[in-house]
Amino acid sequence: MSDSANTMWGGRFADGPDAIMEAINASIGFDHRLARQDIEGSRAHAAMLAAQGIITDSDAEAIRKGLLTVLSEIEGGTFVFSTALEDIHMNVEARLKELIGEPAGRLHTARSRNDQVALDFRMWVRDQCDAALTGIAALQKALLGQAETGADLVMPGFTHLQTAQPVTWGHHMMAYVEMLARDAGRFSDARARMNECPLGTAALAGTSFPIDRDMTAQELSFDRPAANSLDAVSDRDFALEFLSAASICAMHLSRLAEELVIWSSAQFRFVTMSDRFSTGSSIMPQKKNPDAAELTRAKIGRVLGATVGLFTVMKGLPLTYSKDMQEDKEQVFDAADSLMLALAAMEGMVRDMAANPEALRAAASSGFSTATDLADWLVREAGLPFRDAHHVTGRLVAMAEAEGKDLPDLTLDQMKSAHESITDGVFDVLGVDNSVRSRTSYGGTAPDQVRAQIALWKERLA
């Protein structure tokens, strides 16, 4: 394909752009990723034009076959992209003309690059929503596997990264299943909203040709054609919604990655990370670094940066299309790639990691983690108001801390010194196993509650 002066513009510009203008104007360096969507949209458009009698059936068939040839060349790596032709749309159309001649010139009837790029990009983002949903479900299944294995495994629950109350490993894993479910909901909602077809709105005002926009919308699996031509060509809400959902999802992945970094450290030893997702040190032979988790933690920066970037591009644009909107794609492509890589890496890490029951139990038993259980017992069995029970428990914590003990290690006489109504029944609630078993409220950490949630999610994800 020749890089000669771009004749696609027609006669308006006698001189070609200089090198700087060509460089800033061209988007083929990144929008070649829209090739499949561009060709799919062109095939649907040509079929509609023929059905409406706007072009002949023979021209439509030549266009269809030619586009399939172009797609095979692109997918096979033999297609030569031209910067002089600016974008994927011009590159495809120019090659189509080389292949089939005059009928190629009829393909662009009743459309503009404005509605064409709006269509291609919308279809690409729609595909990425589907990919994100698949990746999220795979990670949820990995978390369910961990939850099922550790439904009874006791670990510390934290607030302020301080030991708070005992919980179960399964309960902690299921927290991320719930987070990811909200992420999936956001991608699904965004996909439903973006599923309107802009093709046929042309440059901005629609077209005088008797097109059938319902036909192209149906052919391209949209729910309906977009209702306003001005909005259709200038809308990038679908990309912003995708990026917003991706940012929240990446933030969730970053939180889990941070926990894996902490948990795999020598100071915690809560989990052992797989060698497949760890690296060594060039100088310290004992090191096993959780690099995959750290890189996943960092991906939020790229995704959130893309979100802010596109909001900044769009915030001052009048209707309808402005060339600024060419800057919408690279950051969305990068964010989508980053999110999918992070989801895949996290799924692998979660599937492969092994919890350390001894370290988890020891940590769960430290830091007076059953103090709330003691206060609850005083309310339930001794009839104290909770604030009084809280005060009594605080005195017992101070007593145990002064002696270097945990609450279950205090004697009954020591307990009674804080409040005479305490009996030896209090020791039934002070063990970490008793503590987690007692949290039977809906959504609580009791193993039976955790197993019920696991069963529910297995059914949802089946």
* pLDDT reading at 429 higher than 90: no
- Determine the pLDDT at residue 12: 57
Percentage of residues in the chain having pLDDT higher than 90: 74
Q: Find the range with the poorest average confidence among 14-18, 190-194, 195-199, 433-437.
A: 14-18
Burial class (CB in 10 A: 0-12, 13-18, 19+), 202: buried
112 is catalytic: no
* pLDDT reading at 92 higher than 50: yes
Q: Which amino acid is at 241?
A: E
- Determine the pLDDT at residue 330: 94
Give the model's confidence band at 2: pLDDT under 50 very low, under 70 low, under 90 confident, else very high.
very low
> What average pLDDT does the chain have?
92
Give the model's confidence band at 27: pLDDT under 50 very low, under 70 low, under 90 confident, else very high.
confident
By three-state DSSP, how is residue 250 classified? helix
**pTM value > 0.85:** yes
- Determine the pLDDT at residue 4: 45
The closest alpha carbon to 85, from 75, 77, 95, 100, belongs to 95
Could you report the per-residue pLDDT of 431-441, keeping only the tens digit for each? Answer: 888 889 988 99
Catalytic residue among 4, 281, 322, 366: 281
Cβ contact 168:355 at 8 Å: no
Could you report the per-residue pLDDT of 346-366, keeping only the tens digit for each? Answer: 999 999 999 999 999 999 988
Q: Residue 164 phi/psi, 5° resolution?
A: -115, -70
Residues 6+ apart with CB under 8 A from 426: 374, 377, 381, 415
Could you report the per-residue pLDDT of 200-209, keeping only the tens digit for each? Answer: 999 999 999 9
The structure tokens listed for 422 are: 């305490």
Could you report the per-residue pLDDT of 135-183, keeping only the tens digit for each? Answer: 999 999 999 999 999 999 999 999 999 888 899 999 999 999 999 999 9
- Expressed in percent and rounded to 5, the helix, strand and coil fractions of the chain are 65, 5, 30
171 is catalytic: no
Q: Is the preceding peptide bond at 163 cis, omega within 30 degrees of 0?
A: no
Give the model's confidence band at 13: pLDDT under 50 very low, under 70 low, under 90 confident, else very high.
low
Q: Nearest 5 degrees, angle CA 7-CA 12-CA 14?
A: 70
CA distance 368 to 148: 27
